[in-house]
Amino acid sequence: MIPLSDENPSVRPPVMTVLILAAMAAVWAIVEGAGFGDRMVRAICNLGLVPGELTGLAPIGSAVPIGPGLYCAVDAQLANWASPVVSLFLHGGWGHLIGNALFLWVFGNNVEDVMGAERFLAFYLLCGVAAAALHVLVDPSSPVPTVGASGAISGVMGAYLVCFPRVRVRMFFWFVLFYRVVAVPAWAVLGWWFVFQVLM
């Protein structure tokens, strides 16, 4: 299922939503090399959120495989403390980036419309950092780097559901040769999002 749009037009232009999407795209292209070569893997290793680095519970120098012949080693750099925010703008592939971008575009513009641009940005970052903190609490010694805006976008979708519980979202369904666009209640899309995140 792919969200296409909702039945809830926004009043103001979604300036902050567009800026966040542009930042995600710029980081993907410039920092991660658009997934080509090993730049993406190195960016994930160096800039991703590693719970064990923040808690000090992963031994310094312990390494996990992150690509063919590449390993990500736990370190104690001061920059690690910025990873809960920086990692929100990194992605693990084209599908990861496009999926997050679609959900943010469909749901973010209306939430920004309600909150205003500055409050929306603060809310977005707060949701992302809260998701990162929960991840660290669940597995505090993990040496595995994590990236993506899924936590922040989950918060945006939760806010959307609170503000617009009855709005329907046009979703694109496909199965082999069968495809169709169907209007689905926002709560069902939110449920699908969480299931998809768990499966991923």
For 102-124, what is the mean pLDDT?
95
SS3 assignment, position 96: helix
- The DSSP string of 112-160 is HHHH-HHHHHHHHHHHHHHHHHHHHHHSTT----B--SHHHHHHHHHHH
* pLDDT for 200: 65
β-partners of residue 65 are: 71
* pLDDT for 6: 81
Q: What is the mean pLDDT of the chain?
A: 89
* Choice between 150 and 193, residue whose per-residue pLDDT is larger: 150
pLDDT above 90 (res 126): yes
pLDDT above 70 (res 51): yes
**Band of the pLDDT at 189, cuts 50, 70, 90?**
confident
- pTM equals 0.87
For 8-36, what is the mean pLDDT?
93
* pLDDT for 167: 87
